[in-house]
Amino acid sequence: DVLLVQSGAEVKRPGESLTISCEASGYDFSAYWINWVRQMPGKGLEWMGRIDPSDSFIDYSPSFQGRVTISTDTSLKTAYLRLTRLKASDTATYYCARHYSSANPLDFWGQGTLVTVSS
C-alpha cells in the first residue's frame, strides 16, 4: 500500500527554524514528485512547491520562495520541508502529497503535520 507518513506536531518560537519529514513507502519513491501544501487554521489549501526525487529538481511557488527549502533523501525515501525565520503566520498544517507528473493529480497525501509558532 502507498503510504506517506509525516513527522509529528511541532511547537516553535518566532525566529526559529524547523524541518518536517515525509517518509514514503509502497511505491518507487524516485518515480513520483513530492509536493508540499499549507493549510492555515480554518483556511484553504496552498501549494508551496514540489521536488522530483530522481534529480532533485524543485519548483517553488512564488508565494513561498525564500524561506522554504524542499529536499529529499532517496536512500531514506523521505522528503523534507524546511521553514526558517518562523513567524506566527506560519502556524498551519503542512501536507506532503505525491504525483507522477504535472499531468497527474496529487493522488496520495500524508496525514499532515501541525506546526504552531508562538512566543
Which residue ranges make up the site for another protein (CB under 8 A)? 35, 44-47, 50, 59, 61-62, 95, 97, 99, 102-107, 109-112
Residue for cell digits 506517506?
4
User: Shortest gap between Cβ of 108 and another protein (angstroms)?
Assistant: 8
Quick one: 105 or 119, whose CB is closer to another protein? 105
Quick one: 25 or 104, whose CB is closer to another protein? 104
Chain-centroid distance of CA 36 in Å reads 3
Quick one: 16 or 39, whose CB is closer to another protein? 39
Residue 15's region, left for phi above 0, alpha for psi from -120 to 50, else beta, is left
User: Shortest gap between Cβ of 86 and another protein (angstroms)?
Assistant: 23
